[in-house]
Structure 1
Amino acid sequence: MVWILLIAGVVAVDPLVDVDYAQYLGTARPGGVTDWLGIRYAAPPLANLRFAAPQDPLPAGGVQVADQHGLICLSTPGDPNDTTTSEDCLFLDVYAPSSSTNSSKLPVYFFIQGGGFSTNSNANYNGTGLIEASGMNIVVVNFNYRVGPYGFLASQEVVEGGSLNNGLWDQRKALEWVKKYISRFGGDPDHVVLGGDSAGAGSIVYHLTAYGGRNDGLFHAVAAESQSFATLLTPELSQYQYNNLVIRAGCTGVPDTLACLRNLTTAGLQTININTASPGAQYAPLYMYGPTIDGALLPDLTYRLFADGHFIRVPAIFGDDTNEGTIFVYNTTNTIGDSDAFIQAQFPNVTLQQLATINSMFPEVNETFPMAPNAGHYWRQGSNAYGEIRYICPGIFISGALQRAGIPGSWNYHYNVEDPSQVAEGYGVPHTVEVNAIWGPQYVSGTPPASYLTTNAQVVPVMQGYWTSFIRSFDPNTYRYPGSAEWSTWGEQGYQRLLIQSNGTMVEMVPEAQQTRCAYLSSIGINLRQ
């Protein structure tokens, strides 16, 4: 029997929640947080729904026991025999204070995981730590979305017989689910903060500029970690990706190549699901599939949209880690030719003159922290260049655009908390490492740096204080951790950001040298198709 508790005429959030098409039974944990794991927010994207926009979830009879995460979406490349992934992957998790009611209207943190639009790299993070840090005053939602060709295959055939940008449509489908149902878990559908890291933060950027900045009321503030500006193609420019997949599938001799791809088994498609070199590049990029300019959801290049003011005006946090590029650039990069070939593989439109200018701005030698043993001489050079091109400078550009648009709440951060092991390995403070502090090291699905449980443990409540304050009030300062610095906005003059280090927080100005580099890199962003 399921008991419903009545408090002053209000129905308390019960572990059994009805979402119209199904009933999900969550788990009330001893610490005061209830979780519902593996909730379907869309129909299984199988058969004719492969390469199609997400559809409403199908009705399910009986009580669904929501105590297991759903399988995560298939990766590119990916092992066809991986039992942790599935094409049937459109699930979400909800975490809420057990004491909340269906009229609590708690702020909602909706987290979009990263993975370069090629994998679900932050799956199944546990929202308990953030809820506890908020004083039991928020609801947390995370979810899976399609990636690789399942989420982002593009071509004329897909335009005519499928749907572009399905991974982004999955995200919006989950946001629509939150709008419709989150009040039944204690959340406020009119107070939703989008969070995300890497490709998840890049997704935030695409939702801000969707339809040229049309506000559909799906979210009300954003907090983006290491926003990613990758190469954006059109269906026409993506045709080579589709053609290569069709050739590998043996579908060239059929009248309907898209139907042929849909008829492949999941294992069969995964066997040929690899990255291939872009036209003009010397080898495949790290991430080939990604969002596509479709003239509607993604109407134009991101740099142009922000420069022209075509974005939703909401309070926003953007920011980056000191060494964004180190985990991406091959540590065997030993010559300037190696470095340039890597940059070209990721941004095939880059010109020889632009590469020459980039090389002049990023010298080989960097004395700021040690090189990894046996690393190539240009690993650090390539890492510094790539980190600023793809991550740091786009964040700086967006913060400035928001400030110029008159948004009073435009904050930026520089995360510089060093883990001794990562520094010794030459990675410095790498891409999205702050997720361990924001969620709490015991609540992430990967292995956190050891120092976040010891010498850097004091950083966790500081980051959680800023994040939960922003989630609750759209301002990172309102409920910030005692003793942490007041986080100033980008400022009328610009380039003002929060520096987070092991020994504390303070406001800093973006160094002039970085301002100069970013001014150039942003100026060529449209040419690079960012």
Structure 2
Amino acid sequence: MVRLAHLIPLGTVFLLFSNTVVQATSVVLDRGTFVGYSHGSIDTYLGIPYAKQPIGNLRYRQPEANDPYIGIYNATAFGPSCPQVSEATPTGAEGADLTDLTQLLIATFPTPEVTIAEDCLRINIWAPRGTKAGDDLPVVVWLHPGAFVFGEAGPYNGTAIVERSVQNGRPILYVNLNYRLAAFGFLPGREAKEAGITNLGLRDQRQAFHWLQQYIRSFGGDPRRVTIWGLNAGSESVGLHMLTNGGNNEGLFSGAVMQSGFPLPLNNYTQLQSTYDAYVSAANCSGTPDTLECLRQAPLQTLLTAMDTIPPETLTEGWEVIVDGEFIPEQPTTLLMKGSVARVPYIIADTDDEGTETALFFTAIDTDEAVRSWIVTEALPGISDADVDQILTLYPNDPAQGSPFNTGAINEIFPHFMQLSAIEGDLEFQGLRRFFLNHTWNYQPSWTYLSKLFKDLPGIGAGTSTDLLNLYGPGDLTDYLINFVALGNPNNGTGVVWPQWKATSPKILTIANDSVPLTIIDDTFREEGINLLISLLLQNPQ
């Protein structure tokens, strides 16, 4: 049945953007017609449901494929954002002066005005204008960041990337999507495990990949050439899709790009039972015959309020990806060491100062004793005093050796800040990047880069997400990305040749705001310290 609320006249000129006429464009899926818009050189389709929406009895269920589409659908606006927690403001932000970074990110990634609702499993597609079924263009799929507890696809507009691909003579399609977050997407505990609803946000992503296999050809895309790409939580998601299902990617993707977020040791579903219990209690479902069914029936506002009573992520509670024995059968690091990984080419990347933005939350860790306590209780629980001594020898409280690296004491915004930033960045980012490379390079082509862009941002330096400003700019990294999506190799025979990473020759592309922005160096910086941190992490998984 045609839903009248979705009816709009086909072929009509219906929008104005900056006084430029925008025309309707449409695509047929099953017996449904999705009407998007053409603006400049891009066709855009927004807010397409890629699964049955997780509302009513489908709340806290695995995602299900849509019934065949029928009728006419308005695909000119983003769908709702998924329910989520509020993004936290770091306590050390005053000294860092985040104004410049915030303004840069807002200018590049403006957030559209949308509602928060559970019917949020929507996908968005940008294609070169006039692309049609049979063109078989390669596709890149963006998974947004947000620590699995907040975020949305809407700010990450694919226009600049698709336009650049056309200019480069290698046209691609850009896709992004929303997935369930926080308590709605990552419910832990025995009850969630028994119901098979752990890691629902990752399962949503996987369902979106299946949707693309079925429908992307109608938009002119090639389902055989799909690259999945993400930052932070989105990047960790990409890595986990490479590791799940015994490394069998089911033909869902042919390449992967990971930025500043990699599979790391995880809690299992029982270790976070207290989170489930606290959530149930706050939602007034304690003592009911079936607490999960009570959660399914509860009003949305009740669940949002209950969710916000629980810290979003700590060692012992929160909304996190977990080892569930199913989607993630074992620790990701174990799966990597076993070689249980999808054999697809990939790019894996870090910024130079990954730890600074996390360390802004550590203002209370401002003495030598507090740093030692943080290491043995939070960073690497269970390690010995001798191990701590060795870490502090390699990562001393010396701004000259701290992060933001090579910036001196000017960025020591509170005592021990640069020391903490260096440890955090190497433990959770640089070390895990190298760990992934070391255990996969001999199976598949792999490339890695280090971004030193925006080193002059006070306190932050080349922090997490700063390289996105180049990728969506567009900039040099955009071109490498387009080449990789189109060719399975970031090189196209021109410019700086980016060598594959090999354990026998670990080369890394560096990009900086210098007169020579692109260089190739050995990926061996801080090798002794990084090797120590990762070996201790593997001995004492969180």
TM-score of the pair, normalised by structure 2: 0.83
Equivalent-residue separation in structure 2 for 1:488 and 1:101 (angstroms): 35
Report the residue type matching 1:42 in the other structure: A
Candidates 174, 177, 195, aligned match of 1:140: 174
Q: CA deviation at 1:116?
A: 0.8
Equivalent-residue separation in structure 1 for 2:539 and 2:324 (angstroms): 18
Q: Counterparts of 1:8-87 in structure 2 under 5 Å?
A: 15-20=25-30, 22-30=32-40, 32-58=41-67, 61-77=70-86, 84-87=115-118
Equivalent-residue separation in structure 2 for 1:357 and 1:248 (angstroms): 44
Equivalent-residue separation in structure 2 for 1:186 and 1:524 (angstroms): 48
Partner of 1:109: 140
Q: CA deviation at 1:252?
A: 1.9
Q: Which runs of 5+ in 1 are unaligned?
A: 4-13, 441-459
Q: CA deviation at 1:273?
A: 1.1
Q: 1:287 to 1:118 in 2, by over 3 A?
A: farther
Equivalent-residue separation in structure 2 for 1:228 and 1:287 (angstroms): 20
Partner of 2:100: none
Q: Counterparts of 1:299-338 in structure 2 under 5 Å?
A: 299-329=329-359, 330=361, 332=363, 333-338=365-370
Q: Counterparts of 1:120-131 in structure 2 under 5 Å?
A: 120=151, 123-131=154-162
Q: CA deviation at 1:339?
A: 3.9
Report the residue type matching 2:476 in the other structure: V
Q: 1:274 to 1:234 in 2, by over 3 A?
A: same
* CA deviation vs aligned residue, 1:205-247 (integer Å, no higher than 9, x gap): 1111112212311000111111234541222222121112122
Within the alignment, does 1:351 sit opposite 2:383 as a pair?
yes
Q: 1:146 to 1:347 in 2, by over 3 A?
A: farther
Candidates 193, 198, 201, aligned match of 1:167: 201
Alpha carbons 1:320, 1:432 under 8 Å: kept? no
Partner of 1:91: 122
Equivalent-residue separation in structure 1 for 2:459 and 2:121 (angstroms): 37
Task: Name whichever of 98-107 and 287-296 sits farther off.
Answer: 287-296
* CA deviation vs aligned residue, 1:469-523 (integer Å, no higher than 9, x gap): 11110111116xx54x2111113514211111112111101235x2222222222
Q: 1:120 to 1:429 in 2, by over 3 A?
A: same
Equivalent-residue separation in structure 2 for 1:2 and 1:251 (angstroms): 48
Q: 1:229 to 1:364 in 2, by over 3 A?
A: farther
Partner of 2:18: none
* CA deviation vs aligned residue, 1:110-141 (integer Å, no higher than 9, x gap): 11111111112554311111112112610010
Alpha carbons 1:335, 1:377 under 8 Å: kept? yes
Report the residue type matching 1:415 in the other structure: S
Report the residue type matching 1:489 in the other structure: Q
Alpha carbons 2:161, 2:478 under 8 Å: kept? yes
Q: CA deviation at 1:64?
A: 1.2
The root-mean-square deviation of aligned C-alpha atoms, in Å, is 2.7
Partner of 1:505: 518
User: What is the SS of the residue equivalent to 1:487?
Assistant: coil
Report the residue type matching 1:25 in the other structure: V
Equivalent-residue separation in structure 2 for 1:195 and 1:219 (angstroms): 10
User: What is the SS of the residue equivalent to 1:288?
Assistant: coil
Partner of 1:516: 528
Partner of 2:442: 404
Q: 1:193 to 1:428 in 2, by over 3 A?
A: same
Equivalent-residue separation in structure 1 for 2:482 and 2:317 (angstroms): 32
Partner of 2:218: 184
Q: 1:305 to 1:434 in 2, by over 3 A?
A: same
Q: 1:341 to 1:34 in 2, by over 3 A?
A: farther
Equivalent-residue separation in structure 1 for 2:373 and 2:114 (angstroms): 35
Within the alignment, does 1:240 sit opposite 2:274 as a pair?
yes
Q: 1:465 to 1:345 in 2, by over 3 A?
A: farther
Equivalent-residue separation in structure 2 for 1:102 and 1:52 (angstroms): 33
Alpha carbons 1:37, 1:66 under 8 Å: kept? yes
Partner of 1:447: none
Alpha carbons 1:41, 1:173 under 8 Å: kept? yes
Q: 1:344 to 1:196 in 2, by over 3 A?
A: farther
Alpha carbons 1:349, 1:527 under 8 Å: kept? no
Q: 1:192 to 1:341 in 2, by over 3 A?
A: farther
* CA deviation vs aligned residue, 1:282-325 (integer Å, no higher than 9, x gap): x9469932222222321211111111211111111001001101
Partner of 1:8: none
Task: Name whichever of 53-62 and 123-132 sits farther off.
Answer: 53-62
Q: 1:467 to 1:203 in 2, by over 3 A?
A: same
Report the residue type matching 1:382 in the other structure: L
Q: CA deviation at 1:462?
A: 0.9
Report the residue type matching 2:510 in the other structure: L
Report the residue type matching 1:68 in the other structure: A
Q: Give the length in aligned residue pairs.
A: 487
Within the alignment, does 1:437 sit opposite 2:446 as a pair?
no
Alpha carbons 1:133, 1:461 under 8 Å: kept? no
User: What is the SS of the residue equivalent to 1:55?
Assistant: coil
Partner of 2:482: 468
* CA deviation vs aligned residue, 1:120-178 (integer Å, no higher than 9, x gap): 25543111111121126100100011111111112111122351110010000110011
| Matched-pair identity in % | 27
Equivalent-residue separation in structure 2 for 1:419 and 1:137 (angstroms): 32
Alpha carbons 1:489, 1:496 under 8 Å: kept? yes
Report the residue type matching 2:120 in the other structure: C
Q: CA deviation at 1:198?
A: 0.7
Q: 1:399 to 1:386 in 2, by over 3 A?
A: same
Q: Which runs of 5+ in 2 are unaligned?
A: 1-8, 12-23, 89-112, 401-405
User: What is the SS of the residue equivalent to 1:132?
Assistant: helix
Alpha carbons 1:412, 1:498 under 8 Å: kept? yes
Q: CA deviation at 1:343?
A: 5.2
Equivalent-residue separation in structure 2 for 1:109 and 1:436 (angstroms): 17
Partner of 1:7: none
Task: Name whichever of 193-202 and 234-243 sits farther off.
Answer: 234-243
Task: Name whichever of 365-374 and 120-129 sits farther off.
Answer: 365-374
Partner of 1:382: 420
Equivalent-residue separation in structure 2 for 1:348 and 1:88 (angstroms): 39
Q: 1:374 to 1:433 in 2, by over 3 A?
A: closer
